[in-house]
Amino acid sequence: MILKRGQVSLSFGMIFSIILIVIFFAFAFYAIKTFFGINNSAQVGQFISDFQSDVDKIWRSSGGSQVNEYSLPSGVTKVCFVDFNPDIGKKGINMNLYVELSRIYQGSDNIVFYPMGSTEIGSTKIDNLNLADITLEENPFCINNAEGIKLNLIKEASEALVRVERGN
């Protein structure tokens, strides 16, 4: 008696189709990831532009106070104002972040997005900020991003630069 074995075979067309489906899904996931990365970069860029515009508006005025709300990607948990002057050093409740934030620091930047790598723009410089007053008690001075951040921009008549406080 001769036993016949069952034969399982896939045609070349079927194997090629499966390979094409896998390549299509890989490309789709890559495209979606890239799209969200562009969206996050655009959101951070919009924050920088809007914030600089609002700071300039207060800076040009004779004095005043204005609370603004800004939107940032959910990957950014904190926006930190940091004075990297070695004479100032780290202090306050976020002083444990100082060394980590200094790795992102680019020359004259005064704002850092935390955690590292949450945006393509790790740090930036906003003009006309009174960084010495902002970081007087806390360096880095960080604001948590919980579905957006609120910043109170303040300039007294006797001041030349704009201060930032946590918005209510």
pTM value?
0.75
4 belongs to a structural domain: no
48 pLDDT more than 80? yes
Q: What is residue 96's predicted lDDT score, i.e. its pLDDT?
A: 85
Domains held by the chain: number: 1
Q: What is residue 13's predicted lDDT score, i.e. its pLDDT?
A: 83
For 83, which DSSP code? -
- Note the pLDDT tens digit of each residue in 104-139: 777 788 898 888 877 878 889 999 999 989 988 888
6 pLDDT more than 60? no
30 belongs to a structural domain: yes
3 pLDDT more than 70? no
Using alpha carbons only, give the angle 158, 137, 124 rounded to the nearest 5 degrees: 80
101 belongs to a structural domain: yes
Through-space distance between the first and last CA atoms of the chain, rounded to whole angstroms: 88
Q: What is residue 9's predicted lDDT score, i.e. its pLDDT?
A: 66
Q: Residue 35's pLDDT band (boundaries 50, 70, 90)?
A: confident
52 pLDDT more than 90? yes
89 pLDDT more than 90? no
Please tell me the distance from the alpha carbon of residue 19 to that of residue 66, in angstroms, as a whole number.
58
Which of 38, 128, 129, 30 lies closest to 80, judged by CA? 129
> Average of pLDDT values for 29-41?
79
Which of 44, 60, 58 lies closest to 153, judged by CA? 58
Report which of residues 155 and 32 the model is more confident about: 155
103 pLDDT more than 90? no
Containing domain of residue 64, as a range?
12-166
Residue 76 in contact with residue 145, Cβ under 8 Å? yes
